């Protein structure tokens, strides 16, 4: 596979990865992938990939909340790292408990 040699292509790639929103997604993907490999509990390559992709998607969702709250966009990277470190199961449990408390208080 030949790498693109047009300067405009590399400029677009750099512009893409320099956006804090996508940096957060990449951070979540990378941290979750490294966490799963470090734990060495999961052996299925597909489950490892899916966990990392879901963490990236959750980070993308968190970035929209960060934008809505008018917090600094660079916070997306920290959110992505946190989401990747905690993982899908821990995030799901925290959100379920939070929603359960809100529903119980109504």
CA angle 17, 23, 27 (to 5 degrees): 130
Assigned token pair, 2: 């030949």
Query: Is 60 exceeded by the pLDDT of residue 1?
Result: no
Range 68-97 average pLDDT: 95
Phi, psi of 70 (to 5 degrees): 55, 35
Structure confidence by residue, pLDDT tens digits, 19-41:
888 999 999 999 999 999 999 98
* Spatial separation of the C-alpha atoms in residues 77 and 22, rounded to whole Å: 8
pLDDT computed for residue 69 by the predictor: 95
- Proportion of the chain above pLDDT 90, given as a percent: 71
Please give the C-alpha separations between residue 78 and each of 43, 44, 60, 102, 106, in angstroms, as whole numbers. Answer: 28, 28, 12, 26, 32
- In this model, does residue 3 exceed pLDDT 90? no
Predicted local confidence at residue 62, as pLDDT: 94
Measure the CA–CA gap between 22 and 29, rounded to whole angstroms: 10
Averaged confidence pLDDT in the chain? 90
Query: Is the CB of residue 57 less than 8 Å from the CB of residue 1?
Result: no
- pLDDT > 80? residue 92: yes
């Amino acid at each position: 596979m030949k790498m693109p040699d047009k300067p405009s292509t590399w400029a677009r790639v750099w512009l893409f990865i320099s956006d804090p929103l996508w940096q957060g997604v990449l951070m979540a993907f990378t941290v979750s992938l490294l966490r799963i490999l470090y734990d060495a509990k999961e052996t299925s390559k597909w489950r490892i990939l899916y966990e990392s992709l879901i963490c990236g998607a959750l980070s993308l969702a968190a970035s929209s909340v960060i934008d809505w709250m008018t917090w600094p966009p660079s916070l997306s990277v920290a959110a992505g790292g946190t989401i990747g470190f905690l993982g899908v199961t821990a995030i799901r449990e925290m959100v379920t408990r939070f929603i359960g408390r809100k529903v119980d208080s109504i």
